[in-house]
Amino acid sequence: MDSNNKKHNHSSHNGHNDNHDKGHHNHIEHHKHMIADFRKRFWISAIITIPILILSPLIQQIIGYEIEFSFDSYILFVLSAIIFFYGGWPFLTGLADELKKKQPGMMTLIAVAITVAFGYSTATTFGLKGDSFFWELATLIDIMLLGHWIEMKSVVNASGALQSLIDLMPTEAHLFEDNNTRDVKIDQLKSGDTVLVRPGEKIPVDGKIVEGKSNINESMVTGESKPVSKTQNDKVIGGTVNGNNSLKITVEQVGEEAYLNKVIQMVREAQSKKSKTQHLADKIAFWLTIIALTVGFGTLTTWLVLGKSFVFALERMASVMVITCPHALGLAVPLVVAISTSVSAKQGLLIRNRTAFENSRKVSVVVFDKTGTLTKGNFGVTRFKSLSDSYTDQEILAMSGALEAESEHPLADGILRKVKEEDIEVPKVSDVETITGKGITGNVDGTKVKVVSPGYLEENDIEIPKKEKTDTVETIVFVLANDKLAGVIALADEIREESFEAVKMLKKKGLKLYMMTGDNINVAKKVSNKLQLDGYFAELLPDQKLDKLKIFQDEGEFVAMTGDGINDAPALAAADVGIAVGSGTDVAAETADIVLVNSNPKDIYSLLEFGEKTHRKMIQNFIWATAYNVVAIPLAAGVLISKGIMISPALGAVLMSLSTIIVAINAQLLKEGIK
């Protein structure tokens, strides 16, 4: 383990940003607030739209009624101004954000269209010749607000990862000085202080043991399922959990420098890199914006060059720019997203990051964590047998079960589960004592029974049966009755049944499958061979998992990473698609893009299949939504005006409604395609 510790210090650390963490705490509230805000803006705008439609000359023309009075156009203007500034506000601020990031997308497209519609219509209200687009403006804002509201509601907000990590770090420590202990805040500790860690407590700092011996559960950092026995001069990592004995530890790294804080930093960096990737809708909106502006100004210039009046040219330009922002596009993606997220949630997939889900069809390599993902993550008894004629196999399990019922050791759980499975009655036990670091002893029905490690047999010159010396994958304990070898119990982390099927299904898809684990090389090799994976990496710390993952990415692979522990968090955040197993830690779930609620590796296959279907639906919807543009833009620009064909705003309105309806129906078909 020491050799691994030497690797700890190579990840540099650049200033810990506390405000960032507090910000994360408020993130979920912020998300809820935004959903409520869009909902409120949508309903208020929708209500104001009703009188706008009633008063719009075009709608009157289509339906065939007439309402006119002296200042109707001014009422239209005032109502539309309210919708433009109140309903359109998120898009106008969104435009500013996108331009700041130099990533014009959906917000830019909507903002350009509504600004042109409002500006031009205002001019016509106050004297410019031409028809107003107020009803277009209002319905466009309504539909876009609805789309954004549906979408935000459907995607689980990705946040809190750093908060969950920070919560893992203890905040106080028992400082040991002048033979007394007092509780202090972690940030008051300095290098060289001594702290006391009681049984079952989290170790507060990175440091070195100066007194005591204990089993330490490091699975959160290393992923190794078996607690590690540590004694004087061994290093320990802050945040890991002390076992059954007290320890005194010299503080080496605290706060910023502590290993878990470096993991937090890795997660933060990976997340900020990832948030730069754009949704499909934004990419398409970017091109539509460019087309709208180019064709719009092109139309204006062309008509002016051809000698038409400025008013005519301006009307054509406004028509083009308003038509380019298709209502259907505002619903094309949100409807598909809403349906796909709700359908996948029913199937046990929680989608937290939409871009990663959209991209899941590109995955070429799947990397699995071992403990808790491919395996069950808990020690189970793989075999038990009597080595003495005096006892049956069942009795060996019963005697050890009697003792282990009194123990806090992680292996005890596995033995007790087996006792329950086999429906064995546990005999009475008395005088139970722990043999520090070696096992447990007690009186079972008058027999002095010990359940001990192989080390105890060596120390007491009891010969270990040959067969039990070789297999390093299992953890072996021996049962002694009156100091004579009576039986053996082997425990191991069992491979999940579903893992075998998952591997077969993913291989059929032509994917390369690898395993990365903090566990030892023998265990990794055995699991990898059993599952027939393409390869494995063992004894990795979180930063090393991240490095290995980056190597795959540098080779041009599109990587999906599946894990369940804190040790997987940096790699989950950096993977192209990070998939957390639901039975794992909050941290893993918070850093991943998608969470498998049922912890079933087979769900990875359904996820990739479903990601493909969803993407296909989105593309179909885009084609529908933009097909309308392809026809409408040239006609609005007046390409066929010489033939007497020019798209009237009325026809534009009908075409627009039609494409929106088609898109909505097509999104619903996604439900059918999944069953």
Assess contact for 288 and 626: CB atoms under 8 A. Answer: yes
For residues 288 and 295, give the distance between their C-alpha atoms in angstroms, rounded to a whole number: 10
How crowded is the C-beta side of 476, counted as CA atoms within 13 Å?
18
Catalytic residues: 369
For residues 248 and 180, give the distance between their C-alpha atoms in angstroms, rounded to a whole number: 12
Closest by CA to 176, choosing from 198, 153, 155, 193, is 193
**Helical ranges in 155-182 per DSSP H:** 161-168
Radius of gyration of the chain (CA): 33
List of residues 6+ apart from 616 with CB closer than 8 A: none
For residues 529 and 651, give the distance between their C-alpha atoms in angstroms, rounded to a whole number: 66
For residues 403 and 395, give the distance between their C-alpha atoms in angstroms, rounded to a whole number: 13
244: which 2 tokens? 């059954």
List of residues 6+ apart from 29 with CB closer than 8 A: none
Count of other CB atoms within 10 angstroms of residue 565: 25
For residues 223 and 591, give the distance between their C-alpha atoms in angstroms, rounded to a whole number: 17
3-state SS track over 166-192: HHHCCCEEEEEECCEEEEEEHHHCCCC
Assess contact for 672 and 340: CB atoms under 8 A. Answer: no
Give me the torsion for CA of 104, 110, 113, 117, rounded to 10°.
-150
Q: What is the DSSP letter of 144?
A: H
Angle among Cα 548, 552, 557 to the nearest 5 degrees reads 160
For residues 107 and 268, give the distance between their C-alpha atoms in angstroms, rounded to a whole number: 26
Angle among Cα 563, 568, 573 to the nearest 5 degrees reads 95
Closest by CA to 33, choosing from 90, 81, 106, is 90
Angle among Cα 30, 35, 37 to the nearest 5 degrees reads 90
Residue that the structure tokens 């990832």 belong to: 274
For residues 649 and 315, give the distance between their C-alpha atoms in angstroms, rounded to a whole number: 11
For residues 53 and 187, give the distance between their C-alpha atoms in angstroms, rounded to a whole number: 63
Q: Is 616 exposed, middle or buried (0-12, 13-18, 19+ CB in 10 A)?
A: middle
For residues 493 and 377, give the distance between their C-alpha atoms in angstroms, rounded to a whole number: 6
Assess contact for 564 and 572: CB atoms under 8 A. Answer: no
132: which 2 tokens? 């107003």
What percent helix, strand, coil does the chain show, rounded to 5? 55, 20, 25
Torsions phi, psi for 339 (to 5 deg): -70, -45
3-state secondary structure of 115: helix
Assess contact for 400 and 387: CB atoms under 8 A. Answer: no
Alpha carbon separation from 137 to 156, 307, 434, 568, 620 (Å, rounded) = 30, 30, 77, 48, 26
